[in-house]
Structures are given as C-alpha cells and as structure tokens.
Amino acid sequence: MPLKKAIMPQWRFNMKRIYEPWNIGTMKLKNHTFMAPMSLGYESQDGCINEKMEAFWLTRAKNEVGCIIMDATSVDPKVPYLGNTLCFRDQSSIERFKTFTDKIHETGCKIIPQITHPGPESISSFFGIPPMAPSVYLNSMAQKTRELKKEELPGIIHQYATASKQAKEAGFDGIELHCAHAYMLLGSFLSPLRNKRTDEYGGSLLNRARLLFEVIDAIKKECGQDFPIILRMSGSERDPQGNTLEDMKRLIPYLEEHGIDCFEISGGTQYERCNKIIPCHSESEFTNLFEAREIKKIAKVPVITVGKILDPQLMADVIERNEIDGVVLGRSLLADEAFVKKAMKEQYDDIAPCTGCGIGCVGEQTKRHPASCVINPRAGREEELVWNKTADPKNILIAGGGI
C-alpha cells in the first residue's frame, strides 16, 4: 500500500492559507509554520551557537519553515537547564548570535529564542546549588528545591528583561516565554501543583500569575511594544489539582492586556502527564488542538499549537478553517527537514514521517547524548552528511527500518 494511502486522508483539503504571509504583532511571517524548541543537546559548552546548531536550523529555514523557535535560552548563565544551555553570556556571544540570525533571515525565515529561567529544572544542584522554585518540593530529577524569597524576584525579573534586550540586539525577531507544564520557573509559579506560597505570588490564579505579568511588563518596557512575545502555556495541565482549560481561558485577557502577542498552546505537565508534552505513538495526532481551539475563540491575538502534528493536509485544513493560526512542528522536522517544502508542493509521498518512537530524540537525551532520529540519519549531522542527487537513479525497496 502506498504511503499516502496508509497515513494520509484521501479527501482534498484547501492548502492555501497556511502558506500565505501574516503577522504576529509587528513580526511579518511568510507562512503559518513554526519549528518547535526541542533542546537537542547540540549547544557549545559556552552556551552559544556552533556549526552543528547553525547547520541544523539553517537547513530547516532553507526548506520553507516560517519561524524557528530556538531552544531554551537561560536568562542566567549560572543557572543552566541542560549541560550546555544556550544563553547570552557576553557581547561576544551576542555578536555570534547576530551572525547566525543574519543567515537565517537571508532565507526569509524568522527566528526567536525561547527565553526561560530553568528554576527548579536547573542542573545547578550538580554544582552544590539547590535549584530555586516557588516552593519546596522534589523536581523532575528528584532533587529538593529551594523556595525563592520575595526579595529575590525583582532580580530575576530584571534578568528576563536583560536577556530579551540581548536577543533583540542579536537580531532575533521576538521571543517566546516558557510558562508551561508546571515546569521551569514561570511554569512552576503559575501551577497550583508546584506553587504553595502564602504571599502575593501564591494562592489564587491571578496571584500565581503575578510573576509572569511582571516579567512581561519588564520585557515590554525594555524592548518596546514592537518586539513580539509569544507565550508557551499549557491549555490544561490535565491533572485534577492543576490548572484547567477554564483557568487558562480566564487568564487570556489579562495576558493580552500586559502585552502578549501570541499564545502557543501545549498541554500536560512535566511530572504527571509528560506523554502529552512529547506524545508517543499511542497518543492521538494534534494532541493539544482542542484546548487551542477553545482559547482561539476568546483570544484577540493569534493562537498556535504544538504536539504531534504529522499530517500536512490536516494541519493546512485547521488553519484554513481558522480553528488556529499556526502549527508548531517538532519531531516532524527532525524526521524530514523538508517537511514544509514538500507539503507546499503537495509531495506527500516523499515526506519521511515521524513514527513517534522517541528513540533518537528523547531516548538519546535521557542518556545525555545529542539527539538523533531513527528516520533521518542527517538530523544533527547536516554539515557532515551532504547528499547529492544521483545521475543514475534506481528503484530500491527497503524492507524494515531497523527500529
């Protein structure tokens, strides 16, 4: 059975709108596709861009991705997320990032970093520094966190504003703020699963969102209203004690008032529902579409979504129906760097589909190895494996993929 019949619907979707130009705030995008931040472990030890990362993202940019959301970028170089976390360490690193963003822009693609404070997810404990959090609990690595004092928060807010200003100086087109999955600093402050504070930064939904509001305000003050902010958030934490879809819908007007230019809807938490963050083959496609649709109904700014988006015809259809405004592709672009370009040309049979196995992307990272992909041997090795089209093509059947 041909691949198209096996994994693709047979009806025709309208493919037009997804590949048309549009705006997020002042950022003009050539189409409605994004590449997700995945923290693949390609970073240099100094937290800056290197040839491996540049080749990886540049390859996707050249293949018609509309906007790349760069991996988690720590606002504090002393508080890394992973071993080699991206950060704007000094003026020299900003200049190196500027050279990189210039190359991305030459392709017509936009690029933004995911700005975050790792907080409870920092590996600082390996250096004898307890990871900081809204409250005391065991983090995702079973390490005890330290509750942040109220007087420490203004300094962290300033770090967010400074990192965002550095991103602007480095030529990025905006930023994404990470506030999802009861994870990292802002996400853990927002979630009742992690935030047990009794001061004005804990308790009610708006109190738990107070730090997020103050961070947004500081970034807008430092970078200006014309520097877009995309907010990554869980549409629902899918936990009886966590934030619900109704909670998030209640927050939307406040976040828009503070200056958020776009919402990226993810779902679940890093702790109780990690399978919703990185959906495996047992999870349905478009994992977070329901929550994104509901938020789209009330939001005044664009809404995009992430989570096991594999079918190029289906993703085009939800955009055409105005159910959401953009799709954020992660592993689909690991498995096939030309996913978007092939979809634009309706070359569906030529797309190498992600199977959701998680072996190379997630599995290698759990071993502290750079990510790979069992479908695409070029992933992370774009500067090494350069394939040229043969002058003498043959028809070859590959029986079994070796997974």
Strands 22-24, 27-29: pairing kind: antiparallel
Residues 6+ apart with CB under 8 A from 262: 24, 25, 228, 229, 230, 231, 301, 302, 303, 304, 325, 326
Is residue 30 within 8 A of residue 106, CB to CB? The reply is: no
Q: Catalytic residue at 183?
A: yes
Q: Are 56 and 19 in contact (CB under 8 A)?
A: no
Q: Are 117 and 153 in contact (CB under 8 A)?
A: no
CB 88 within 8 A of CB 167: yes
**How far is Cα 352 from Cα 345, in angstroms, rounded to an integer?**
15
Residue recorded with tokens 């970034």: 219
Looking at 183, 201, 254, 271, which residue is catalytic?
A: 183
The phi and psi torsions of 115 (rounded to 5 degrees) equal -85, 130
CA separation, residue 360 to residues 55, 64, 174, 357 (Å) = 19, 24, 30, 8
User: Rounded distance, CA 399 to CA 271, Å?
Assistant: 38
15-39: b (≥16 Cβ within 10 Å) or e: bebbbeebebbebebbbbbbbbbbb
Angle (CA) 177 150 206, round 5° = 55
Q: Are 94 and 88 in contact (CB under 8 A)?
A: yes
Residues 6+ apart with CB under 8 A from 11: none
| Residues annotated as part of the active site | 183
